[in-house]
Structure 1
Amino acid sequence: MINKILHRATQFVVTVTAFALAFMLGVSTASAQVKPGDFIAPSNAAQVKELVSPGVYYKVQHGMTMKIIATQRVDWPPPYMDATEKYSSQVRLSNDHRSLTGFVAGQPFPLIDPNDPQVAEKIIWNNVFRPITSDDYDLRFYDCESAYEQSGPQTRQIENFEIGHYAGYDLVGRTEVEPIPTDPDFKVTGRFWLFALYPILSPQEIRGTGFIRFRYSDPNRGDDVWDWAKNTRRVRRLNEAQMSSATTTNGSSATTWDPDHYAGFNPKTEQYDYKYLGEKNMLAVAHADHSPEIRCETDGGTSACPEAWESRHMYVVQATPRAGKINAIDSKTVVYVDGEMWFEPYIDTYDRSGQLFRNHIYWLTNRDRPVADAKVAIYPFKRSFVVGACSTDLQSGLASMCYLPGRDTPERECWYINMGAVDKSFFTTEAMVKAAH
């Protein structure tokens, strides 16, 4: 029995090492079109056209700049790696290929075969249980600005948002904070995770607004969502289809963010069909220089730039809403998933006529603390943090850029990941209403 376990662990390490070598060779090939030290601006945007998504290319054409750096490795948190080695061999897709069986913790499918008929579904499930967070997180006091894109330092800022908490709690797949690996509440409620965003602190007209969302393991059960709005001063239940709308949960039309894309591609997994479009070496931000991020002065403040972009190995998957399952506003979403971080550095969505609609970009860094002067949020190993995120309506030019941590907020450290910073009591309507007052 011991020999079998050792053999399995050895196979895992050998395969991961082989992937890393192939990854680095592939990066070298992709980097031939750009090289470390290059500076990309609208004038030479064509150099990166084939190395980014159509939505990101649009952003460069409209003023976002890039500093090209050498590719750096991103390692998983050791507890997540240990859980992957321990449990991944028992994970399977269900008979209908929609959901998982045998999942406990870590990455469900560490060995990705592009010839596997279910490769798209496996990539998406790897993204669901990704290493960036596995237990809990609390993002405190961050801010977002909405503005219309334009060249030059001038801005057409139309709204500024400040949010108190953006938090989550996972009931399964836990690797660092007790209870590990599963919260006993999971057997009672069937909830995969809990999410909360509250209270919105500004603008004043929606101060106190927030919402709570529960995701369930039952593939046929949709999300439970509640919000509290200042104008009605009551808790109301929302239809989960509204989670793809940018105006539902904040009472404002001055933002392009919708809950299904707050942290990458995040609607209920089983409500979509997936198509594998291939793998490619593309540019992304995995080791951002700045935290807090800097406001881009060459596109009217609708992105973070200049920032460090490097060649990354990406899996590309198309997600299409399943007929009769959800009435999403997007006809399809193209998800670009980093093969080491297992987080999507960017996503493009298309409207119901098939036209490019919205682009979402996430700027990440990899270090042992979210900001250099952290006193509490310090980790024994490096982990990835999202330090900036932007959602752009490519048809109107309206963009919402978020700074994580905020540039002018009372909480400097911002990200508390897998530290027990929040428990299940935070994710209740009672707690949300209390915070609103």
Structure 2
Amino acid sequence: MQLGIVGFRKTIVVGGIALLALAAWSLPGEAGVKPGDFITPDNASQVKELVSPGVFYKVQRGMTMKIVPTSRIDWPPPYKDATEKYSSQVQLSKDHRTVIGYVAGQPFPLIDANDPYVATKIVWNAMWRPISNDDYDLRYFDCDTVYTGVNKPFSEINYDQLGHYAGYDLVGRTEVEPIPIDPDFKHTNRLWLFLLGPQLAPQQDRGTSLLRYRYEDPNHGDDTWAWEPGTRRLRRLNEAMNSTATGPRTYSPDHYSGFNPKTEQYDYKFLGEKEMLGTVDAEHSPEMRCATDGGGSACPERWQMRHMYIVSAEPRRSVNNAEALDSKTVIYMDSEMWFEPYIDTYDRRGALFRNNVFWLAYRDRPVPDAKIAIYPFKREFVVGGASTDVQSGQTTMCYLPGMETPERECWYINMGAVDRAFFTTESMVKMAETGHM
């Protein structure tokens, strides 16, 4: 795969904010696009070298882009303060797999492309990203599964509506007590807790839920449970199941939020850094269903040039994820907001398999008319996400907040909206069986 990586350079972070020279905008002829351009399948070649192969596939099949000037994305002040306070004590372990001395904030604010372990450090930075680091609860969202194509009419294969996409971090907390570490961590070794569900539609899948725990111990794989309406019982999942589609159709739990498997179970390679397009300041919330690709994306939406680190992740076949579905994931990491605007995965033959793309908004509330989820500073919110099987054209497009859901504020981040008690098998089963949120 030809990534067209530009020359390496060292990026210094001062006070948690990357000082980056966005050279692509000063050389518009080389960049291929400029603010004001509108990208369609007819001129898709202009962005071929500015997006991943998976995103280029989507543009070729009808997703449009409005090119806008690059804007600056600041970290939430509590996260920035924690980075300045604690990052100097963080280091990789002797085997370079795990992190030692982490408390809160970004573990490795100094990114040096010549560091032999730069790829691993980038992935650990993504593990403790600034978008949410205490708790989050996405209430009521919906997803359409469709086949994409240029000017293909919207024809829904499946419609999914879910009650919660929620998480609780025990380490790295900066805004909600207990700060910076939940005392439960010392007893359980759990780093974070995650719950998806219950599923509210379609009726035959009502109640389907997923619960997942991540541990600090590098040799302790994730604990994952599922509740399914067919058997009406709790089922413990093999860890390899996290790499397969579970929940909203083409999504796998390891890629719900970009790249999310257990960090120590992969080998990482730094492929370079480059100016590329991403959506970090979306115009719409709720997002708009794309009318030119069969509903397989959010479009037209604002895309801007971003400085990204590119890392490949390959599963270590000798550990618990030996049955991982993907042979490789290529991660495109925004160097300022530390969230992946998109990732591409490759099957065991080495062919492009899936693309996940995320549309993020930068504002002080998830929706303009929010009454509760309002912050004293701007932060990032994921307002849309699409997972596309590029070998079949099937896409699951999720809207956050949903188009047809009763909860309009949708995202509650670092507000204490959920606590540890929410993330138990008993709580999950009760919600699944009763339908009470």
The alpha-carbon distance between structure 1 residues 15 and 383, as it changes in their structure 2 partners (threshold 3 A), is: closer
Q: Is the 8 A contact 1:26 1:313 kept in 2?
A: no
Letter matched to residue 390 of structure 1:
A
Aligned to 2:253: 259
Task: Measure, in 2, the Cα distance between the counterparts of 1:273 and 1:361.
Answer: 23
Q: Is the 8 A contact 2:83 2:107 kept in 1?
A: yes
Q: Is the 8 A contact 1:318 1:334 kept in 2?
A: yes
Aligned to 1:384: 380
The CA deviation string for residues 18-76 of structure 1, in whole angstroms up to 9 with x for no partner, is x42x3334553467421110000000000000000000000000000000000000000
Aligned to 2:366: 370
The alpha-carbon distance between structure 1 residues 62 and 80, as it changes in their structure 2 partners (threshold 3 A), is: same
1:15 CA drift (Å): 7.4
Task: Measure, in 1, the Cα distance between the counterparts of 2:252 and 2:31.
Answer: 36
SS of equivalent residue, structure 2 residue 165 = strand
Letter matched to residue 283 of structure 2:
D
The CA deviation string for residues 350-384 of structure 1, in whole angstroms up to 9 with x for no partner, is 00000000000000010000000000000000000
Equivalent positions of 1:10-409 (< 5 A) are 14=14, 19-20=18-19, 22-25=20-23, 27-29=25-27, 32-152=31-151, 154-246=153-245, 249-250=246-247, 255-325=249-319, 326=321, 327-409=323-405
SS of equivalent residue, structure 1 residue 23 = coil
* Range moving further from structure 2, 319-328 or 88-97: 319-328
Letter matched to residue 375 of structure 2:
Y
Letter matched to residue 62 of structure 2:
G
Matched, 1:432 2:428: yes
The CA deviation string for residues 338-360 of structure 1, in whole angstroms up to 9 with x for no partner, is 00010000000000000000000
Q: Is the 8 A contact 2:70 2:306 kept in 1?
A: yes
Letter matched to residue 284 of structure 2:
H
Task: Measure, in 1, the Cα distance between the counterparts of 2:38 and 2:57.
Answer: 17
Letter matched to residue 166 of structure 1:
Y
Q: Is the 8 A contact 1:27 1:281 kept in 2?
A: no
Aligned to 1:5: none
1:240 CA drift (Å): 1.1
SS of equivalent residue, structure 1 residue 157 = coil
SS of equivalent residue, structure 1 residue 318 = strand
Indicate the structure with greater helix content: 1
SS of equivalent residue, structure 2 residue 138 = strand
Task: Measure, in 1, the Cα distance between the counterparts of 2:15 and 2:127.
Answer: 22
SS of equivalent residue, structure 1 residue 364 = strand
SS of equivalent residue, structure 1 residue 192 = strand
Task: Measure, in 2, the Cα distance between the counterparts of 1:314 and 1:352.
Answer: 26
Structure 1: 4+ residue segments shifted above 4 A: 12-17
The CA deviation string for residues 318-352 of structure 1, in whole angstroms up to 9 with x for no partner, is 00001211120000000000000100000000000
The answer for unaligned runs of 5 or more in structure 2 is 1-11
The alpha-carbon distance between structure 1 residues 121 and 41, as it changes in their structure 2 partners (threshold 3 A), is: same
How many residue pairs are counted as aligned between the two chains?
419
Q: Is the 8 A contact 1:138 1:168 kept in 2?
A: yes
Task: Measure, in 1, the Cα distance between the counterparts of 2:397 and 2:339.
Answer: 19
Q: Is the 8 A contact 1:27 1:313 kept in 2?
A: no
Task: Provide the TM-score with structure 1 as the length reference.
Answer: 0.94
Task: Measure, in 2, the Cα distance between the counterparts of 1:228 and 1:267.
Answer: 21
Q: Is the 8 A contact 1:390 1:399 kept in 2?
A: yes
Q: Is the 8 A contact 2:138 2:411 kept in 1?
A: yes
Task: Provide the TM-score with structure 2 as the length reference.
Answer: 0.94
The answer for unaligned runs of 5 or more in structure 1 is 1-11
Q: Is the 8 A contact 1:243 1:260 kept in 2?
A: yes
Q: Is the 8 A contact 2:16 2:80 kept in 1?
A: no
The alpha-carbon distance between structure 1 residues 237 and 409, as it changes in their structure 2 partners (threshold 3 A), is: same
Q: Give the CA RMSD over aligned residues.
A: 1.3
Letter matched to residue 315 of structure 1:
Y
Letter matched to residue 267 of structure 2:
D
